A and B are shown apart, each in its own frame.
Chain A
Amino acid sequence: MKKYSQLLTIAILSAVLSVALISCDKSISEPQRVGYTPGSLDEKAGTWKTYVLTAPNDVTLAAPASTASATYQAELTDLKSKSASLSQEQQEAVVYWGAGAVYRWDEIARELAARYNTPSASNADGKYPVPDAANPLADPKFPFANPPYTARMLAYLSVAQYDALVATWNYKYTYKRPSPSKVDATVRVALPTSVLPSYPSEDAVIAAASYTVLKAMFPGEVPFLDAKLAEHQNSRIWAGMNVASDLVAGIDLGNQVAAKVMAKAKMDGMSAANNQTLTAGMVEAAKGRGLTEVWQSQEIPVRPPMLPNYGAVLNWNFDAATKVKLRPVPPPALDSPEFAKALDELKTINNNQTREQARIANYWADGAGSYTPPGHWMRTAANAANEANEARYSEVRMARTLALVATSLMDAGVCCWDTKMFYYYPRPQQFGMKTSVGLPNFPSYTSGHSTFSAAAAEVLSSIFPARTDEFWAQAQEASDSRVYGLIHYRFDCTAGLACGKNIGAYAVARSKADGSGL
């Protein structure tokens, strides 16, 4: 038996060693965001140009009670008791929301986009049921948060946040009610403070505006959004940052602005974006211009193209006539040497995709189950503003940044879809290519990734000029990724990049004339 026990010992020791080598700590670390004092309070932001509001006083807000009033003093007492000592959970909520209200709601929106970004399954009849907004949690869920849907969702979210904050800054500096800890130094605060007036609470404004937009965009997520809205407001009390009337006023103002923004959304043409009856005419028009083989869905069963009339949705930074002027020149004829050359490049990759090509294709894929390319660039924009160490962004400047990028991304989506459906150009898979990233179900020319990426890079380079090369390198790589993933010809991508840059320039021009001086 002694021999056996020796063997057992060896075996057990080996087991322990193997486990130790692997290391049992499997925790994953993500970048942590914490509260900060902005480089500037942007005191004059109440005069910045808005998107939907004609003026900040399109929305109204009554004057607050003075800090000397009994009403206010009662609120202050209540605030002190609720912020005096926090549970672990309350502290975590304070830190989470303290990283930035616009930042967090944009992050939530991207997460919702990822969760809703799956195409419907075909049914027994070989048809693809259309998501139903009135029954959002049925199969298929509403919405299908594909790139056009997500671009638009993020644009309305960012515009609502920005317009609401411009109105907020207007009223903050109209009423100039100091924050609670400036009124009473014994208020225990858990986040960095400033002399920014606190009525109405910018956090409550952002929460209400974001909540209203996201509830409309993701109607199946009301309980989830309710919980976020409540936690965000509570976190301001727990942090000692706002009294109750700051929050009530903020919710009221945020709701008013979001209602106006969503009224515009209802009229922008999105309700007709999935008008599939138009595709027959689009096909005929493309053939009439000489295209010998039009795009066809490669899915089995054949799936109708994604939102064929999204190209008719209203743009933010230019009008419909300009959109037509921005449309790229026609792609090469299918029997041209230029097409043959582009297909040859793909054939080479199809035969022997390098690991680096696969990496780039995967990194930028942003396909089903992701927050899409617009989400990817909004994340880049939000992080750039959050990490701008020399002058970290106030909420209103963060919102301005995201609104410029998001409106440009939606403009890019609309223009690109207009181009795609106008030319109705076939995908490389119609010429035998495989794909390592999944094949989008709409025409090839031009590349959506390229258009989105160049528009975003153009805007971001204007806002963060020191990072221009970095943003353009990313846009170029995102564009290349679609060639490496074999779903776009090179000319789809170069045309998309050029068009996206032109689209971004309109948002840049706006940013130079919005009164911010930035």
Chain B
Amino acid sequence: MKLSAKFLIISIFIIPMVAQAQMPHDAIYMGKNQVCVAGLYGQSSWNQYWENTLKRENFNIGTFTMQSVTIMPAIGISKRVNVILSLPYVWTSTSAGNLMGQHGIQDLSAWLKVKAVQTGGFSLHTIVGASIPVGNYVPSFLPMSIGFQSRTATGRLLANYREPKTGIYVTAHGSYSWRGNSTIDQDAYQANDQVYNTNQVQLTNTYDAAVRLGILRKDWQTEVWAERNACINGDNIRRNDMPFMTNNMQATAVGWYGKVQPRNIGLNARVGYVIDGQNVGQSTSYMLGLLYQINFRK
């Protein structure tokens, strides 16, 4: 059996950053008493992955696909403070082999986004987030598992400059995420070349960094981006073995994002492609979203 781990990318990395309309990593805010609800469909697939550093295919997987639908409300507390929630339903499948697809509700995420500094076109934002598993899914059956059954907490600093006339902007952000231990069904497992006699799996912390360049107008937005998501450390997928939750998963991805929202109703879309990685699948992903903005005026 050999599988891969693009899964990781999707489940813990891409889903939180799947959409960008008032997302946890942009400089866009809902006004006070405004709520924007996004309904997102995402798909991510790969037919090659990095087993440690070895790029390979796997005939017993063929193409791995992970799909999700996510509900993601962004709530304007004030025009400088937003809260964003997200809850995905995820399902996986392969085009070859006999591994059983997994499906279920994944993890609930909550983000608090605060515009801390605004000077002219420049702004600085502090963003904190946390996630907690909701579904009782199996975390250790990689790459089919839909998540890691781990609590996370993320701190993010985001800087943005937007030229007011043209709407051209550049955004850069970096984050550090703590990940709590996961409990698996087995009471022993191998990691780091040793056997652990416990059902507790220590997940390493992660970081991300990204730059985005785009144009943001009143009704629309277009952006190209590059992101790096990686574990702080971890072990590697053993030769021709399954990936495991302790693997040091790393990925660098590039992509495009766009949004059109002329009225209350809008659409957004995102495509991404992993250009380099380790212990992850080389995934191509896309996302389509329907946005609906509600104004609660008192």
Contact = CB atoms under 8 A, between A and B. Distances in A.
Q: Are A and B subunits of one complex?
A: yes
Interface of A: 4, 7-8, 10-12, 14-15, 18-19, 21-24, 26-31, 107, 110-111, 114-115, 118-122, 139-141, 298-301, 350, 353, 355, 358-359, 362-363, 365, 367-371, 376, 379, 429, 433-436, 438-439, 486
22 contacts: A4-B118, A15-B128, A15-B155, A18-B154, A21-B151, A24-B178, A26-B202, A28-B202, A30-B196, A30-B198, A107-B195, A114-B190, A121-B56, A298-B98, A299-B59, A300-B59, A355-B138, A358-B138, A371-B195, A379-B197, A434-B98, A435-B98
B275 interface: no
B185 interface: yes
A22 B188 contact: no
- The SS class assigned to the A binding surface is loop
A253 B24 CA distance: 67
A26 B180 contact: yes
A499 B226 CA distance: 59
B189 to A, nearest CB: 8
Contact of A7 (B80, B129, B155): B80
B1 to A, nearest CB: 4
B178 A12 contact: no
B240 A486 contact: no
B32 interface: no
B141 A300 contact: no
Given A11-B128, A15-B126, A29-B198, A486 B141 contact: no
A438 B1 CA distance: 7
B178 A8 contact: no
Chain A CB count within 10 A is highest, among B56, B118, B130, for B130
Chain B CB count within 10 A is highest, among A22, A350, A367, A370, for A22
Contact of B112 (A11, A111, A140): A11
Contact of B185 (A359, A379, A438, A439): A359
Nearest to A359: B185
Contacts of B129: 18
Interface of B: 1-2, 56, 59-60, 80-81, 96-101, 112, 114-118, 126-130, 136, 138, 140-141, 144, 151-155, 178, 180-181, 184-190, 193-198, 200-203, 238-242, 244
Given A24-B178, A379-B188, A369 B194 contact: no
Contact of A4 (B2, B116, B130, B186): B116
- The SS class assigned to the B binding surface is loop
A115 B193 CA distance: 6
A434 B99 contact: yes
The 6 A-B pairs at the shortest CB distance, nearest first, are namely A362-B185, A11-B126, A434-B100, A300-B59, A18-B153, A121-B240
Contacts of A369: 190, 238, 241-242, 244
Nearest to A112: B195
Contact of A30 (B153, B155, B197): B197
A22 B153 contact: yes
A208 B271 CA distance: 60
B59 A429 contact: no
Contact of B184 (A15, A121, A300, A362): A362
Nearest to B153: A18
Given A29-B198, A363-B185, A486-B100, A22 B180 contact: yes
Chain A CB count within 10 A is highest, among B128, B151, B202, for B128
Contacts of B80: 7
Contacts of B154: 18
Contacts of A439: 1, 98
A45 B242 CA distance: 45
A7 B115 contact: yes
Given A21-B130, A22-B178, A140 B117 contact: no
A370 B241 CA distance: 11
Nearest to B97: A300
B185 A23 contact: no
Contacts of A120: 240
A21 B190 contact: no
B33 to A, nearest CB: 18
Nearest to A440: B1
A120 B151 CA distance: 36
A114 B118 CA distance: 56
A19 to B, nearest CB: 5
A369 B51 CA distance: 15
Nearest to A383: B197
Given A300-B60, A359-B138, A435-B98, 6 more contacts: A7-B114, A15-B153, A107-B195, A362-B140, A362-B141, A362-B186
Contacts of A114: 190, 195
Contacts of B244: 369
B59 A370 contact: no
Contacts of B200: 28-29
Contacts of A27: 202
Chain A CB count within 10 A is highest, among B100, B129, B130, B186, for B100
Contacts of A110: 195
Contact of B194 (A14, A111, A139, A353): A111
A113 to B, nearest CB: 9
Nearest to B138: A358
Contacts of B184: 362
Contacts of B197: 30-31, 379
A436 B193 CA distance: 24
Contacts of B181: 26, 28
B233 to A, nearest CB: 12
A19 B98 contact: no
A174 B244 CA distance: 53
A376 to B, nearest CB: 8
Given A111-B194, A139-B239, A362-B184, A21 B138 contact: no
Nearest to B151: A22
Nearest to A362: B185
B110 to A, nearest CB: 9
Contacts of A438: 1, 99, 242
A429 B96 CA distance: 12
